[in-house]
């Protein structure tokens, strides 16, 4: 075996003991995933080729009547399912035989592995944080289905969850969208309009995620109104304000610069496979022509949605 075989157990145990922390830290590092975690919307699935979300899109028949009026019933299709493909990603944690020999003390080896696991954690956090704003076409369609697909700029086109939004009868599967040349003076009007369009009774957006440009406009507006961030989110490292009691969070660098998503996370889920939630995949992997070994930290699953009509995106069209 390459390198110092005596320290293979350290490599394995160090990775295995960190796998739960990896999952926790990745979700805490992104405001949307943090919100989903706090609302118990990170749900594992046991297996299968697809991830299914059951959808209720219709209503039964109600009849007003008196006396002996006939009450008729016509069977209706009220439920269907959205299908999401399972996506996979992995980050290798590697060590060369030379590094093992140079760091042959047990304590030194643990520190070396810990640093490389920390790097893998940062990589997963950054890459998944970016992917949740994508449309699933990155890496030749191997990336997760992100907000660009779920809460589309044009919700009248495209297929989401294997349901064609362009098809007549599938209007219920379209999110809300609003485009405008945004300024400090008109931003609140546009936000109010989109928020109301995404509200149904007591169902309303519970988090608003924005790119830097629109967040900057909102921050300028709020400074004159003395509306400031929530201390808990500030302590967690997030730049956040409030709107109608809902957090408005800047995810600069991940969320597209001129977009603001109004999301109802009661209907958005992060769905990892139960056996591949930032876990070590398999045993040691030896390079054929190198004095090195590595392990893979892997994740499999997707981001899913069960209600599109209560999600919205505000788009700044200012040149």
Longest dimension (CA), the chain: 91
Q: Does residue 48 belong to any structural domain of this protein? A: yes
Number of domains in the chain: 1
24-41 tens-digit pLDDT: 777 877 889 989 999 999
* 71 in a structural domain: no
- Please name every residue paired with 177 in a beta bridge, in sequence order, or none if there are none: 313
205-229 confidence digits (pLDDT tens): 999 999 999 999 999 998 876 555 5
Q: Per the domain annotation, does 141 fall within a domain?
A: yes
Task: Report which secondary-structure segment, H or E, holds 192.
Answer: helix 184-197
Is the distance from CB of 194 to CB of 214 less than 8 angstroms? Answer: no
The string over 143-161, giving b where at least 16 C-beta atoms fall within 10 Å of a residue's C-beta and e elsewhere, is bbbbbbbbbbeebeeeebb
Q: Give the Cα separation of 75 and 189 in Å (integer).
A: 43
More confident residue, 54 or 110: 54
Does a structural domain hold residue 63?
no
pLDDT digits (tens, 9 = 90+) for 90-130: 998 887 888 777 776 666 666 777 777 778 878 888 899 89
pLDDT reported for residue 139? 94
CATH of the domain at 86: 3.90.1690
136 within some domain = yes
Nearest residue to 2 via CA among 96, 94, 93 = 96
Could you tell me the residue range of the domain that residue 276 belongs to? Answer: 5-57+81-316
**95-126 burial, b for 16+ CB within 10 Å, e for fewer?**
bbbebbeebeeeeebbebbeebbeebbeebbe
- Cα–Cα distance between 97 and 299 in angstroms, integer? 27
Please indicate, yes or no, if residue 70 is contained in any of the structural domains: no
Give this prediction's pTM: 0.84
DSSP letter for 175, please.
Answer: -
Q: Is residue 309 part of a domain?
A: yes
Cα 242 to chain centroid distance, Å, stands at: 21
- Is residue 165 one of the residues assigned to a domain? yes
Q: What is the mean pLDDT of residues 70-89?
A: 86
> How many Å apart are CA 187 and CA 106, to the nearest integer?
58
């Amino acid at each position: 075996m390459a390198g110092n075989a005596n320290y293979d157990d350290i490599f394995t145990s160090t990775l295995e003991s960190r796998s739960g922390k990896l999952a926790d830290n990745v979700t805490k590092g992104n405001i949307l995933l943090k919100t989903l975690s706090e609302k118990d919307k990170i749900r594992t699935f046991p297996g299968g080729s697809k991830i299914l979300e059951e959808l209720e899109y219709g209503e039964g028949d109600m009849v007003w009547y008196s006396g002996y009026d006939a009450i008729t019933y016509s069977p209706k299709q009220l439920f269907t399912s959205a299908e999401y493909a399972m996506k996979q990603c992995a980050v290798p944690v590697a060590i060369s035989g030379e590094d093992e020999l140079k760091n042959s003390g047990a304590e030194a080896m643990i520190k070396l592995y810990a640093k490389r696991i920390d790097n893998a954690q940062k990589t997963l956090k950054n890459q998944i944080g970016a992917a949740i704003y994508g449309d699933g076409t990155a890496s030749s369609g191997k990336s997760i289905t992100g907000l660009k697909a779920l809460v589309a700029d044009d919700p009248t086109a495209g297929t989401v969850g294997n349901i064609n939004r362009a098809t007549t009868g599938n209007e219920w599967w379209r999110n809300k969208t609003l485009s405008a040349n945004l300024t400090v003076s008109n931003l609140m009007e546009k936000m109010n309009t989109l928020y109301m369009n995404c509200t149904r009774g007591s169902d309303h957006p519970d988090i608003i995620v924005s790119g830097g440009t629109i967040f900057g406009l909102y921050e300028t507006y709020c400074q004159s109104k003395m509306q400031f961030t929530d201390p808990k989110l500030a302590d967690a490292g997030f730049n956040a304000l409030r709107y109608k009691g809902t957090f408005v969070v800047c995810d600069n660098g991940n969320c597209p610069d001129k977009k603001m998503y109004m999301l109802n996370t009661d209907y958005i889920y992060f769905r990892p496979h139960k056996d591949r939630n930032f876990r070590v995949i398999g045993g040691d992997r030896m390079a054929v022509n190198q004095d090195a070994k590595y392990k893979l930290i892997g994740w499999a699953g997707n981001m899913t949605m069960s209600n599109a009509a209560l999600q919205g995106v505000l788009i700044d069209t200012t040149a």
